[in-house]
Amino acid sequence: MAEDVKFKVSIDGIPVEVAPGTTILNAARLIGGDIVPPAMCYYSKLQGSGGKCRTCLVKVSKGSEKDPRPMPKLVASCRTTVMDGMEVQNITSPEVIEARKGVVEMLLINHPLDCPICDQAGECHLQDLGYEHGLANTRYEFERRTFDKIDIGDKVQLHMTRCILCYRCVFVADQLTPRRVHGVLGRGDAAEISTYIEKAIDNEFSGNVIDVCPVGALTDKTFRFKNRVWFTKPVEAHRDCPTCSGKVTLWYKGEEVLRVTARKDEYGEVEEFICNTCRFETKSTSDWVIEGPRNVKRTSVISLNHYAELNPPAVVKKNLALQETNKEQFERAKELL
Amino acid sequence: MARKLLLTHIDVPGINTFEVYRQKGGYRAVEKALKTLTPDEVVEEVKKSGLRGRGGAGFPTGMKWSFLAKPEGVPRYLVCNADESEPGTFKDRYLMTHIPHALIEGMIIASYALGANTSYIYVRGEMMPQVRILERAIAEAKNAGFLGKNILGRGYDLELYVQPGGGAYICGEETALLESLEGKRGNPRIKPPFPAVSGLYNCPTVVNNVESIAATVPIINEGAEEYAKIGIERSTGTKLISASGNLNKPGVYEIELGLPVEEFIYSDEYCGGIANGKRLKAVVAGGSSVPILPANLILKTLKGESRLMTYESLADGGFQSGTMMGSGGFIAFDEDQCVVRNTWNFTRFYHHESCGQCSPCREGTGWMEKVLHRIEFGHGSFSDIDLLVDVSKKIEGNTICPLGDAAAWPVASAIRHFRDEFEWHITSGQEAQRRNYGLAHYADPLEPVAS
């Protein structure tokens, strides 16, 4: 097959041409916007990931040009490759919306919803997913499953209660480190990520499990409870690192670097994995060459605190009574300036 | 007497040994296949016989074999799925215990047809006696020259291995079985690619049920035409049924497909009616994962025809009023049984056996179990019934493997057909602890449907 062969695919009626072997999800990402299915377990940098969380389910209403029959079931778009002439429905299919709502509900029934005390809050994919696709209330009236917190190594903490079993960290352990030290134990809803005999993770790249974790199950112990992410300011920086690319995001609060993470793209996937020295050991400005502030999407909660002044909605400005109720907030805003 | 093909010599003493099995005409099919047929002719023969997979899905076996990719220089594998763990199904264990050589003989024929030189029998972890029986049978067959190098001087080599599993229901799903066989965690793979292209160790693989493989022996012996004469339309041959529940004579029966369900339950040749003179309330016709049907619907279809033991007739009416052949685990419930409790019990099983890989099944099975537990113990509310239906719909079809469907169907069908009983559990929670709902109207003749 010639290399320049392109498959014509349409997603929610928007045509796109992609190389054979591309998955539906990646084809949708080429189009961008709100027709991109959400993905909680798929991670383009990790081989074999995806297919597990079922949030990216889409309907294939036309299989291909040769075989136009629709696929009988909804398919996981992250693991289904496109065919020439394929027609995919994502947000235009009520069936998909309904199934996705179901998946979000399932993911949340055993999640502790402890966002107010969770370090991931503000950059949590499950929060975003629940906000965009979930219901406002829950129909689950039983006790949620809980686990004890476990330290894996001296820098990473595992809080299994929040885990959605996406297996991303297992793939990191498998693919970035030479010796796999953790995996999944147990079965069904008793399954847990574990290091078996609580073996410490001491590999140079083990810290990346924190970055790939879509929820607050794996957190950075050097950052735990230091600050909310939306009070910190992300700054791009790099350093000459012998083990990794050294390209990172520094999260500042005032003069202090609170934490270091890899740079993440718009789908929350890291651009390049970084080593533990960059992540945990080098936390002063003098270690880094600053490139400039990181672009944060306007819709992200992280950007919310970064406006120079408080900009209340017009209705507040016009109404004296509302100004009175917001008095405290106005005063706080003044202090910040 | 109906014809028996698999269990013909089941009563002969010592049929589990090579000598007796050989005396009774065993391994004739291997001789016939290796000496007179090419591998493709064997595949063609199985195709013509109309044999359908006996493990549950009912996919034509010959068709499955012909889909096997045959790239040069890559080994092909045959794997026998003996991880029989569906509640209500115990036919494969019976076959392996009493006539192990029927499976070994079938394995040789099927491996020859597929061009596999290494084949595996993956046996469920709890069946250690059967593992030993099969290992002994393999050793006997090897001594007699039916396994090993250059079988019957025809230049065909085959090694057969028995692998005990860890005792997980999910390892009966073919890709989970392959993962487990490779020594990994038994998680189902995401398809495609299908095992026929990339299976065991990424090589083309066919996974067949014990009974399907054993059925190739009579097909080769008698010829495909003769085999296809038994049965009705696309359901050909004989099938082992594991009958359990409130029957006078529960056990494993070999039936000719096409036998009326009523005859199977009530005739003395088979189950001999309902035990203790009780009346039939419900039947799960093909193992715990198929929809449960009330007595009136299992005996007659909505069209008023009598329901037969065939893939088509049992499925007549779709999910609205039909069920499935499944793996042939026939469970009969008499009027004293509680459908709610039974549904809860099945769901408890699926909750326990879910692998936990994909979210709808991992979370949904546990949720359904908790709601059903609440209803069964008299603390349910009416909204719980609709909640169960909705959760089962959210699981069905949205999971990686069919375990999600298998968990959803029993719940959805029990509520569809026995809603009164569920509602009674809610309105009379205390009374439901003391007595059962009884037969109610579940055996009443159906209103004829105007077409």
Residues of A in contact with B367 (CB under 8 A): 106, 109, 140, 142
- Do B52 and B192 lie in one domain? The reply is yes
Inter-chain contacts counted by CB atoms under 8 A, chains A and B:
91
Q: What percent of chain B has pLDDT over 90?
A: 91
B360/chain A closest Cα distance in angstroms: 6
Is pLDDT above 90 for A336?
Answer: no
Average pLDDT over residues A239-257: 92
pLDDT of residue A254: 83
Query: What is the C-alpha separation between B339 and B353, in angstroms, rounded?
Result: 21
Task: Look at A222-236, B247-261, B328-342 and tell me which has the smallest mean pLDDT.
Answer: A222-236
- Do B257 and B207 lie in one domain? The reply is no
pLDDT band, residue A304 (cuts 50/70/90): low
Q: In what order do the strands lie in the sheet with A218-220?
A: A150-152, A156-158, A218-220
pLDDT of residue B401: 94
Average pLDDT over residues B84-93: 95
pLDDT of residue A307: 53
Q: Identify the CATH number of the domain in which residue B394 sits.
A: 1.20.1440.230
- Do B424 and B347 lie in one domain? The reply is yes
Q: Exposed, middle or buried, B276 (CB in 10 Å: 0-12/13-18/19+)?
A: exposed
Is pLDDT above 70 for B402?
Answer: yes
Parse chain A into domains and list their residue ranges: 7-101, 111-223, 226-293, 307-337
Average pLDDT, chain A: 88
The DSSP result for B182-229, as a single string, is TTS--PPPPSSSPTTTS-GGGS-EEEEEHHHHHHHHHHHHH-HHHHHH
Average pLDDT over residues A204-231: 91
- Do B115 and B27 lie in one domain? The reply is yes
- Do B76 and B87 lie in one domain? The reply is yes
Is pLDDT above 90 for B420?
Answer: yes
pLDDT of residue B97: 96
Query: What is the C-alpha separation between A90 and B36, in angstroms, rounded?
Result: 55
pLDDT of residue A201: 65
**B267 Cβ under 8 Å from any chain A Cβ:** no
- Do B225 and B237 lie in one domain? The reply is no
- Do B343 and B288 lie in one domain? The reply is no
- Do B313 and B354 lie in one domain? The reply is no
Average pLDDT over residues A274-290: 92
Average pLDDT over residues A135-160: 89
Q: Convert B132-172 into a string of H (helix), E (strand) and C (coil).
A: HHHHHHHHHHHHCCCCEEEECCCCEEEEEEEEECCCCHHHH
Q: What percent of chain B has pLDDT over 70?
A: 99
- Do B264 and B317 lie in one domain? The reply is yes
Query: What is the C-alpha separation between A200 and A280, in angstroms, rounded?
Result: 16
Contact A116, A91 (CB under 8 A): no
* pTM of the predicted protein model: 0.91
pLDDT band, residue B287 (cuts 50/70/90): very high
Q: What is the CATH architecture of A111-223? A: 2-Layer Sandwich (3.30)
Average pLDDT over residues A304-309: 57
**CA-based nearest residue to B279, from B298, B254, B255:** B298
Q: Which B residues 271-300 touch A at CB under 8 Å?
A: none
pLDDT of residue B451: 53
- Do B170 and B63 lie in one domain? The reply is yes
Query: What is the C-alpha separation between B384 and B130, in angstroms, rounded?
Result: 43
Give the residue numbers spanning the domain of B257.
232-334
Residue B408: which H helix or E strand, with range? helix B403-427
Q: Identify the CATH number of the domain in which residue B48 sits.
A: 3.40.50.11540
The answer to whether position B3 is within a domain reads no
Query: What is the C-alpha separation between A131 and A118, in angstroms, rounded?
Result: 17
**B356 Cβ under 8 Å from any chain A Cβ:** yes
**CA-based nearest residue to A60, from A46, A52, A50, A72:** A72
pLDDT of residue B450: 55
pLDDT of residue A107: 95
Domain count, chain B: 3
Cα torsion A103, A105, A108, A110: sign: negative
- Do B189 and B294 lie in one domain? The reply is no
B31 backbone φψ class: left, alpha, beta (φ>0; ψ -120 to 50):
alpha
Amino acid letter for position A97 = I
The answer to whether position B10 is within a domain reads no
Q: Does domain A7-101 have CATH number 3.10.20.740?
A: yes
Residues of A in contact with B362 (CB under 8 A): 106, 165, 188-189, 191
Using the 3D structure, point to which of B334, B355, B383 is the last residue of a domain.
Answer: B334
**CA-based nearest residue to B395, from A110, A99, A81:** A99
Q: What is the pLDDT of residues A18-36, one digit of tens each?
A: 999 999 999 999 999 889 9
Please state the ipTM of this predicted complex. Answer: 0.88
